[in-house]
Amino acid sequence: MKSVSVEEAVALIPNGASIMVGGFMGVGTPERLLDELVRQRKSGLSLISNDAAVPAKGVGKLFDAAQVSRMIGTHIGLNPKAQQQMLSMQTDIDLIPQGTFAERIRAGGCGLGGVLTPTGVGTTVEEGKQRIDVNGKSYLLETALRADFALIHAFLADYLGNLAYALTARNFNPVMAMAADTVIVTADNIVPVGVIAPDHVVTPGPLVDYLVANG
Amino acid sequence: MDAQTIIARRVAQELRPGNLVNLGIGIPTLVANFVPAGLNVFFQSENGLIGSGPIPEQGMRHPFLTDAGGRPISALPGAATFDSAMSFGLIRGGHVDITVLGGLQVDTAGHLANWMIPGKMVPGMGGAMDLVSGAKRVIIAMQHAAKGKSKIVVSCNLPLTSTRPVDLVVTDLAVIAFPGGKATLQETAPGISVAEVMAVTEAELAIPDKVPEMKF
């Protein structure tokens, strides 16, 4: 684990990179990393994020600046700009069921090729996918999802990168921290080792590559 | 009583002590306002919380405690938080007793369409498909008709949310269940006759000998 400035952290991300961004409607999102992605004008990003948040908040900022060329998510209903960019084919947005989204990322982080889920069988979600029957029940084969970078926000990070989250700001952060080649973390509070008790660590330090220093 | 109140109050009667319940956005959210005190139901917010409570007063809100729409909520004593994989494990794994969702169409066989109108409304399905696939009981809370068109249809022409049929539909005019895979009128709203329900329903409803009124 290396401690870096927010500028250094974002400079690691090339144009066109795939990025997983934690958060749910902008709650539990690493806002400082998103602000810096906008400032450094990173373009052609492949975004993997639950939703498009709202304009000026969370990943919504990337749609404000038209930096996303592709998105995999579950809901963009509260961001008119994301919807507009999807309908005008400016951004290729793949909307999938939220439980499937979580499990595909979990599979990606856990070394699995994919998961079998009953969600979506017989609907438009099934198109182009393999249906597999197990013990008389039908499932869809949903393949694992990984990214070049995971941008994570925690409530507490200690000097070794152990992370703990707060309330509903946890959401997709723990599964995403497992599923990317490089994991970059911001935290509300950076604390000495030991402040987070071993039983309360949710994301173990060795998963974290870069911890963004607080200003 | 206005249409939304009729629906929300009638749905609230379906909740049982100890139930783990997930409420969708819109009319379903209102159900929480009509749960009898002391019933001890647990509400799940799919962004990672069991035990969600009402909107806290100004000054007591926390930016990291929100519902699935990003609005501030509170957490009741005994609440638990978890990540999204766990949250949808609860949903898909059959641990949620009841989900209450809005609907665009429900057909004679109980199939639900509630997540998109091609070419018009493409918000994404969010958690709806997992909820309908996995919850033990699926209740649809919606207006009986929209712009004069019945939402209880012969066959959904909008994309389905799931092939799993719903268990109960509660509208401002009627309660409909699907015994044997056939839409059946269970109750009518106060002051509404069976004939009035049938007149505004596109689907053919099975009508039992006795159809009671909703009781409040």
Residues A168-180 pLDDT 10s: 999 999 999 999 9
pLDDT for B25 equals 85
Q: Do B64 and A103 touch (CB under 8 A)?
A: no
Distance from CA of A177 to the nearest CA of B (A): 12
B63 touches chain A (CB under 8 A): yes
Residue A79 CB neighbours (<10 A):
25
Q: Which tens digit of pLDDT belongs to each residue from B117-153? A: 988 878 999 999 999 999 999 999 999 999 999 999 9
pLDDT of residue B194: 98
pLDDT in the model for residue A76:
96
Class of domain A2-96+146-191+203-210: alpha beta
Neighbours of A39 (CB within 10 A): 12
For residue B192, the model assigns a pLDDT of 97
pLDDT tens digits, one per residue of B151-172? 999 999 999 999 999 999 999 9
* Res. A128 pLDDT band, cuts 50 70 90: very high
**How far apart are the CA of B14 and the nearest CA of chain A, in angstroms?**
25
Tell me the catalytic residues of B.
46
A129-139 residue pLDDT tens:
999 999 999 99
ipTM: 0.96
B125 CB contacts (<8 Å, ≥6 apart)? Answer: A74, A75, A95, A96, A97, A98, A125, B115, B116, B161
Q: What are phi and psi of A197, to 5 degrees?
A: -65, 145
Residue A165: its pLDDT value, please?
Answer: 98
Token pair 């099934």 in the structure block, residue:
A126
pLDDT of res. B26: 87
Give, for B24, the enclosing helix (H) or strand (E): none
pLDDT at B122: 81
Specify the pLDDT at position A215.
Answer: 80
Mean of pLDDT values over A1-15: 98
Which of B84, B124, B125 minimises the CB distance to A171? Answer: B84
Question: Is the Cβ of B134 closer than 8 Å to some Cβ of chain A?
Answer: yes
Instruction: Provide the pLDDT for residue B98.
Output: 98
With a cut of 90, say whether residue A191 has pLDDT above it. yes
Radius of gyration of chain A (CA): 17
Would you list the domain boundaries of chain A?
A: 2-96+146-191+203-210, 99-143
- Per-residue confidence band for A142, with pLDDT thresholds at 50, 70 and 90: very high
| DSSP E strand stretches across A56-113 | 68-73, 92-95
Q: Is A116 on the interface with B (CB under 8 A)?
A: no
Mean pLDDT over residues B20-37, rounded?
A: 93
Domains identified in chain B and CATH numbers: 3-199 (3.40.1080.10)
> Is it the case that residue B75 has pLDDT exceeding 90?
yes
Best of A140, A168, A171 to substitute, by most chain B Cβ atoms within 10 angstroms, is A168
Q: B69 to chain A: nearest residue by CA?
A: A25
Check residue B76 and give its pLDDT.
94
Q: Is the pLDDT of residue B2 over 80?
A: yes
How far apart CA B48 and CA A98 sit, in angstroms, is 12
A201 CB within 8 Å of a chain B CB: no
pLDDT at A94 over 90: yes
pLDDT mean over A144-170:
98
Taking residue B155's Cβ as centre, other Cβ atoms within 10 Å add up to 11
HSE at residue A155, side-chain half, CA atoms within 13 A, is 18
Q: Output the pLDDT for position B175.
A: 98
Q: Please tell me which residue, B189 or B123, carries the higher pLDDT value.
A: B189
- At residue B37, the pLDDT reads 87
Nearest to A73 among B46, B49, B124 (CB): B124
- Range B202-212 average pLDDT: 97
pLDDT at A109 over 80: yes
CB contacts < 8 A (A, B) = 145
Share of chain B above pLDDT 70, in %: 100
Say how far apart CA B96 and CA B44 lie, in whole Å: 8
The alpha-carbon gap from B199 to the nearest alpha carbon of chain A, in Å, equals 31
